[in-house]
Structure 1
Amino acid sequence: MTEIVTFAPEKEFRINAETVFQKHSELIKQVLPGSQVYHVGSTGVRGSLTKGDVDLQVRVTQEEFPEAKESLMAMYSLNTGSDQTSFFCAFEKEDEILPVGIQLTVNGSSVDNFRKVTQFFCEHPSYTEAYNHLKMKFEGEDMEEYRNEKSSFIAKILSTKEYEQLSKRMDLYEKVKFVEGETFLTIEETKNLTHSEMVELIDYMRIDPFIRSVKNVIVLVNSKFNSEIESLLGNHGFELREENITVRKDLNNISIKEDVRYSFKSLNEISTSDFKRVWKESMVNSLNAPSSLNVDEQMRSVEVELGSTYKASCLVAYESKRHLGVVMPHIEPGTTNEGRLFYFGLVQSERGKGKSKQLHKQALEILRNDFGAAYYIGSTGKDNIPMLKTFQNSECTIVESNKVYKRKV
C-alpha cells in the first residue's frame, strides 16, 4: 500500500515539539549522561514545513556506541526502515503527542551531519524556502518518491560552499566548550585551540547569528595566547573582566574534621525565596567579578543547565540554625563524573573565620557521595586570595589560568 506524505507549517507543532524534545532529551541524558542531544529536522527550523515528527540526534563516541545502542533499545523501537551500522542506529516512538525519531550517531562519522544540516537551514532561510517548495510539490503524493527527491536535495546542500563553511565552524566549536543559558553564553576550554584556531573562533563569534543574538557572551582565553588575541577581542567589542585560576582534585581522598560538621538544606526542603535571599547575601562584596546576571536570571540558568534535578544542587549551609552561605554541587552536563560547584560562597558576616575550608571539603564530599563525582573542577579569580587558600587547603591542583573577556553590550 502506498504511503502518502503530508506537511504543515512547523509553527502548528512548535509548542508540542519543544515539549517532546525536552522530555526525551532529559530521558536520554539520564541513561547516557556523556552524550550530546540535539533537536534536528524540520520541527527544529522556524518557517519550515514538516510532517510533524520530532527528530533528535544523539551523539556519542565510537567506544560508547554499543552501550548507547543497547540503552536506547530498552527505551525505543528500532526503526526497521533505516540502515543500522557500527556508527548509526535509528529508533522511533509513535505513542507520543508527536511521533519521535532518534538518530544515534558516532561523533565525526559520515552520518554525523543531522545537527549541521538543521543549523544550515536555520541560518539560510532561502534554502528553507526551496526545501518547502519541494515539500509542497509532493503534498499528498507518494512518500518514497518524496524521500528520493529529498535525498538529492540534501546531497546538493552538502556540496555547497555555504555548508562547507558552516561545517568547518561547527567542527571548530567541537574543540571548545559552550555553556548556554537563556541570556548568556560562556565559551571555555580554549586551551584546546591553536593560535590560528583561536583567531578563527574570534571571527566566528562576530558572524555567528546565534552568538550575535545572545545578550551576555563571555570567553575564557587561556594564558598561552599572546597579546594579539587580546587585541583582536578588543577590536570585536570584548573587554577584560578578570583572570581566573582553575583547579582540579581527585575525590578519592578527602580529609574532614568530624568534630566540625555543617548541615545543609536543599530547595526540596526550603523555599526558593529563602534560598535566593541567602544566595544574594553570599554575593555581597564578593572578591570575584560580579555576574552580569541578576539572581533571578542565575536561578533560571541553574534550572536550564541542570534540568529537573536542579533543586538537589541548591543547598544552604547552616551552623546550628544560622545560615552560613550557599553551596551548589552538580555533575557537569555532558560528563558522567566531573563534579563542579555552580556557586560556593559565605555570607559576609561569616567570612574571615576559617569556615570556608571546612565547608568546601564537605561540598567535595557531597559531590563524591551524593552525586557520584570522581573528580572536582573549580575556579576563582586570581585576586580572590581566601578562595585560593581554600583550594589549597582542600589539596586542589592548579591546572590552568584564563583571562575572562565579556562582550560589551
Structure 2
Amino acid sequence: MDLFNTIKKDREYWLVDQVKDESVPDQEYIEVFGSLLAEWRENQVAYLSLLMDATYEDWLLDQGFRKVSTIVEYTRELDESFAGEPGISVEALSDGGMSDSDFAELYEQCRSGSANKNKLFTIEQVMESLENELGLEWRASCFIFRKSGEPIGLSIPIIEQGTVDEGRLFYFGVMPEWRGKGYGAALHRISLQLLKGIGATTYVGSTDEANHRMIGIFMRNDCVLRNRKGIYRIDR
C-alpha cells in the first residue's frame, strides 16, 4: 500500500497526506517520506504541504518544516439513508444552472471567514485544481444547495484517492449569511447521501481544530473523532 497520498502540480506545490496504518513501523514512514522529501528537493518544487501524525513533529521540524496547525478527522459509516431538508434543492454544476465563474464566486464566499488556518490557494488555483484532481467531468461532482432559489452552500463529494469506498468532501461550505442557523448540519447530511450515491460506505471528514462550527456539524451528524494530524509546510 502507498503510505502517502501525493498531489503534484508541476514545480508549484506538492500536497502530501500520510495514510495511517497501525501495522506500519514509525521508521518505515520516516524512510518512505525521507525519500519523497529528497525527490521534492531535487525537483525544486516551490513548497510541500504535509498532513502527518504529530508524533513525527520533532523529526519534521529538524528537516526544515514549520507547523501550520492541527486538523481533526471525524468518521462514520454510511449505513443509512440521509433525508433531504424541506425547502432545499440540490443541483450539480454540470446541470447548467450556474456558470463556472458564478460557482467560483460562490466557493470564494463559502470559504470566507473560515477558521481553517491552512489557506493554500487563490480561487483561480482552486478552480484549476478541480479539473486537475477530479478529471474532465469535475462539474458533475460539484453540487450547489439552494433555498428559495438562492445559493446557500456547496459540496464536492468524492471517493478518496487509492480507495474504492471511502467518501470525502473535497470541499464543503455554507454562505456566511446562512451560518449559525442549523443549515450547515442539514447540508452536510445531504452531502452524506450524495456520497452514498457515488458508492461510499464510510465517510471521513477533516477540519482545523479551531473550526468549532464544523466540528459541531460532524458531531450533530453522528461522526466520531478518528485522528489528529499536524499540518506542516516547507518552502524551497
TM-score, length-scaled by structure 1: 0.53
| Letter in structure 1 aligned against 2:18 | E
Cα distance in 2 between the residues matched to 1:376 and 1:180 = 24
- Offset at residue 240 of structure 1 (A): 0.8
- Offset at residue 301 of structure 1 (A): 1.5
| Letter in structure 2 aligned against 1:230 | E
| Letter in structure 1 aligned against 2:74 | V
Q: Indicate the residue corresponding to 1:163 in structure 2.
A: none
Cα distance in 2 between the residues matched to 1:372 and 1:243 = 29
- Offset at residue 266 of structure 1 (A): 1.4
Q: Match of 1:280, SS?
A: helix
341, 346, 371: which one aligns with 2:174: 346
8 A Cα contact 2:92 2:140, kept in partner? no
Stretch deviating more after TM superposition (311-320 or 260-269): 260-269
- Offset at residue 287 of structure 1 (A): 0.8
8 A Cα contact 2:84 2:189, kept in partner? no
Cα distance in 1 between the residues matched to 2:8 and 2:138 = 16
Q: Indicate the residue corresponding to 1:303 in structure 2.
A: 131
Structure 2 counterparts to residues 36-185 of structure 1, below 5 A? 174-182=2-10, 183-185=12-14
Q: How many residues align?
A: 232
8 A Cα contact 1:262 1:317, kept in partner? yes
Q: Match of 1:191, SS?
A: coil
**Counterparts in 2 of 1:342 and 1:394: CA distance versus 1, 3 Å:** same
Cα distance in 2 between the residues matched to 1:186 and 1:331 = 17
Cα distance in 2 between the residues matched to 1:258 and 1:328 = 18
Cα distance in 2 between the residues matched to 1:211 and 1:187 = 16
8 A Cα contact 1:267 1:275, kept in partner? no
Determine what percentage of the aligned residue pairs are the same residue. 26
TM-score, length-scaled by structure 2: 0.88
**CA displacement, residues 60-96 of structure 1 (integer Å, 9 cap, x when unaligned):** xxxxxxxxxxxxxxxxxxxxxxxxxxxxxxxxxxxxx
129, 152, 156: which one aligns with 1:324: 152
- Runs ≥4 residues deviating over 4 A: 209-212
Structure 2 counterparts to residues 207-286 of structure 1, below 5 A? 207-209=38-40, 212-223=43-54, 225=55, 229-256=56-83, 258-269=85-96, 270-286=98-114
- Offset at residue 385 of structure 1 (A): 0.8
Cα distance in 1 between the residues matched to 2:159 and 2:228 = 22
Structure 2, unpaired ranges of 5+: none
Structure 1, unpaired ranges of 5+: 1-172
| Letter in structure 1 aligned against 2:39 | D
RMSD: 2.2
- Offset at residue 383 of structure 1 (A): 1.3
Cα distance in 2 between the residues matched to 1:206 and 1:180 = 13
- Offset at residue 175 of structure 1 (A): 2.3
Cα distance in 1 between the residues matched to 2:188 and 2:42 = 34
Cα distance in 2 between the residues matched to 1:308 and 1:210 = 30
13, 19, 26: which one aligns with 1:195: 26
8 A Cα contact 1:190 1:198, kept in partner? no
Q: Indicate the residue corresponding to 1:49 in structure 2.
A: none
**Counterparts in 2 of 1:203 and 1:377: CA distance versus 1, 3 Å:** same
- Offset at residue 327 of structure 1 (A): 0.8
| Letter in structure 2 aligned against 1:243 | T
**Counterparts in 2 of 1:190 and 1:174: CA distance versus 1, 3 Å:** closer
Q: Indicate the residue corresponding to 1:388 in structure 2.
A: 215
Cα distance in 1 between the residues matched to 2:213 and 2:163 = 29
**Counterparts in 2 of 1:265 and 1:202: CA distance versus 1, 3 Å:** closer
**CA displacement, residues 363-389 of structure 1 (integer Å, 9 cap, x when unaligned):** 1111112x1222211111111111111
Rg: which structure is higher? 1
Stretch deviating more after TM superposition (396-405 or 206-215): 206-215
Q: Match of 1:376, SS?
A: strand
| Letter in structure 2 aligned against 1:185 | W
| Structure ranking higher in helix proportion | 1
Cα distance in 1 between the residues matched to 2:71 and 2:47 = 18
| Structure ranking higher in strand proportion | 2
Q: Match of 1:282, SS?
A: helix
